[in-house]
Every structure is written in structure tokens, then in C-alpha cells.
Amino acid sequence: MAPRKRPETRKTSEVALHPRSKRSRSPGELEHEAKKLCVKGPGSSRRSDSGCLREGPASLQVPPQCRSIVRALHHHKLGRTSWPLLQQDLQQSFLSSLASYRIFQKAAPFDRRATSMAWHPTNPSTLAVGSKGGDIMLWNFGIKDKPTFIKGIGAGGSITGLKFNPLNTNQFFISSMEGTTRLQDFKGNILQVYTNYGTCNFWFCSLDVSAERRVVVTGDNVGHVVLLSMDGKELWNLRMHKKKVTHVALNPCSDWFLVTASVDQTVKIWDLRQVKGKSSFLYSLPHRHPVNAAHFSPDGVRLLTTDQKSEIRVYSASQWDRPPSLIPHPHRHFQHLTPIKAAWHPRYNLIVVGRYPDPNFKSGTPHELRTIDVFDGSSGKLMHQLYDPESSGISSLNEFNPMGDTLASVMGYRILIWSQQETKM
């Protein structure tokens, strides 16, 4: 299809940026900030039995020091430390650093809530975010230039999936409630339309892309999953679920594996080389509630699912259908809230997810905070919680950049950037 120009493309003037202060602060100011931010690590005196934070005054807890990373790397080089042990040391060092994470930039460019986001694959300070109104922002928060803003159609234009083109990062794929899956650039040009229903009754809810296989996969609101080549040829279009497909994802290491999640309370794993019909899945993983998301881990050997109620699951290869590790966690579905989705850390066996306190949650307590929770992917143990009282909403989407040192959070209309606070000498 010939490229066509989007009608409105402009630089946003609505983004409010809040850079970190460079002024040195006294010990008294630091102590006051610690009490104000209420950022806690494992073992907090304010932690309830459920592992959550409650409102109330407290000082900032400093996590225990881990082994010297330089020493651990040296021992690994000499063959004295195994790779798994080195990974544990690196992960513990990262967890210790979370105590100093703060929100250092904010943006509020949309007139409707943010619904999707994607980190640039090679630039660790560049983020693309889509909104319920179809607006898209490309934000490089490492420079002072205003973000690039592409105006959407408004109502009915919600961006449901967003991925940078791995072959050309000046372009991106999107799925939307307009009924399309398309490729466009940040100047507003639509370069190719892969699927188009042409009606408001059917739309696409998620997408993923494989550079190696040169394929695009997308799922719709009535259970269909469509596989296309990057040149636009439809390879197959099958109804794989009974209801809306909320998420599709390809395995990052074995990209012939596809996982699909649905509100029909199932997650299914497929081999793209063997798909012949709706019953040709490799595994069907039943859940107790509709499912918001299913993500393969960066090493491809685990699968993380988030339901619409209070359960996070971790499945492991190669026996995907074995009983999973269950993590109780409140993140219930609400119509006017972007669905909460847990995500993997790109370098460590850690899970990050926003908390939506629920009075009916089994281990919930009064006055729980709306934190961002970090869990160990192996044990399911809550390792840390991030919280800023000045940004106390529900963080629906939370993802670390490819370097793993900066966290982006979607909180309603706002996008928050968390990073480690610089230490003054």
C-alpha cells in the first residue's frame, strides 16, 4: 500500500519535564527526603505480612551491602566463581541500588491515559508511548529537545500495541482500536498497513515482531491471530481463542515459539512452523481469571503471565504445562484503567509490576500504598517496592530499558522515569 501522510504531526508543548536537581544537599535534607519518599527494601519495619508497604512515617532503609562486584568479576575470570553465582551477585547489587531510585523526569503529553510503551532497542534514554486517543510520543529524556508528538484521531484510536521496527528504528509498528496494524515513522507517515478491518466493531489488541523471521503477529478482539511477513503477505489468519486476544509475544531466543493470552482464561504456546488450526497449540495453560499479558523471559526459558485479578504466574521450559510458581498480587481489572501487566527485567531474573491495593485481597491490609513491586522470578519473594508520594497513582505499565538501569512507568496520563540518584562526593 502506498504511504500516506498523517494529518497532524507536531512537537509537543504539553510535556512537563522535571530533571534531577544538581545542588548538593545537607545530611538533614537527605534525611527529610528519605522520610518523605518512603522507599523501602526487604525487611522493612513498615512491611505487613503480605509484603506490602503501608502509609505512615518511616526512614529510608539501606539494604545490606553485597559482595564487591569487581571482586566477583575477577573471581569469575579466574574460574573461582561460577556464572550462576556471578549472576546472583550482580542481581543483589542491582537490588541494593533500588533504594536510591527516584523519579527524575515526568511527562504528561496526552489528554487521555497512556496505553502502551516501548523502549528504543539501542538508545537507553529514548521511549515511545501511545495513548487511548491514538497519540504517540517519542521522548529522548536525555536531551533538552522537546519530544516528537504525533496526533491521533481521538476517541476510538487507542494504541494497543507498540514496537520499534528492529530493521529500522526510525519506524515503529502499532496495533490500534482503529482496526489496523500498521508500520509508520515518527514524521507521521504511514508506510504500510498490514491489517485493516475498516469498522469500529473489530480491532487489534496486541502485536509483536521478529527481525530474524521477518514476521509480524497480531491478535484481535474476537480471538483471531494473524501472522504476516514484513512485506505484508498474510501467512495465516486463525481463530485461536474463544474471546479477545489480549497479548501476543514471540520467544526472543527461539522466535518460532509464540505465546497468546486471552480473556477466555487461557494462555497458549504455539510453534509457528506447525500451526495448522486452532487445535495445533503445543500447550494450553488454563487460568482462573482472564489474562492481561504473557511474556517470555529474555533468555526464553520462562513465561510470565498476569491475570486480571490477583495472580502472577511463572512457567518454566521445557515442561511448560507443569504447575507454575504462583505469586499472589493485587492488580484487579478496572474499565478506565490501563490493564496492569507484569514485565521481566532485561538482565536479571526479576519481575516488575504495579500494585492496585484491593480490600478483598486475601493478605491485603488497610492503607496499602500503590507501589511498584519487584519480585524474584525464582522464589516469588517480594524484593523491593518503589513509591513516591507526589506520584501516588496506579502504575499500570512498568518496564526497564534494555540496559536495565532506568525504569519507565505509565500512571494514567503521566509517564514517569525512575533512575538511581547520583551520589555527591
Query: 215-241: b or e for each residue (b if 16 or more CB lie within 10 Å)?
Result: bbbbbbbebbbbbbebeeeeeeebebb
Evaluated on CA atoms 257, 380, 93, 127, the torsion sign reads: positive
- Res 144: pLDDT: 84
Give tens-digit pLDDT for 134-157. Answer: 999 999 999 988 899 999 999 989
CB distance 186 to 168 below 8 Å: no
- Res 71: pLDDT: 65
- Rounded to whole angstroms, how far apart are CA atoms 169 and 118? 12
- Res 366: pLDDT: 81
- Rounded to whole angstroms, how far apart are CA atoms 124 and 405? 9
Evaluated on CA atoms 203, 304, 289, 339, the torsion sign reads: negative
Q: Which of 140, 74, 59 is nearest to 107 (CA)?
A: 140
Q: For the chain, which residues score pLDDT lower than 50? A: 1-50, 56-66, 424-425
Residue 26 contacts by C-beta under 8 Å, 6 or more apart in sequence?
A: none
Q: Which of 184, 129, 189 is nearest to 160 (CA)?
A: 129
Give the amino acid at 332.
Answer: R
SS3 93: helix
φ, ψ at 246 (rounded to 5°): -80, -25
- Res 64: pLDDT: 46
- Rounded to whole angstroms, how far apart are CA atoms 271 and 282? 7
Instruction: Measure Cα distances from 164 to 130, 147, 327, 355, 384 in Å.
Output: 12, 16, 31, 27, 30
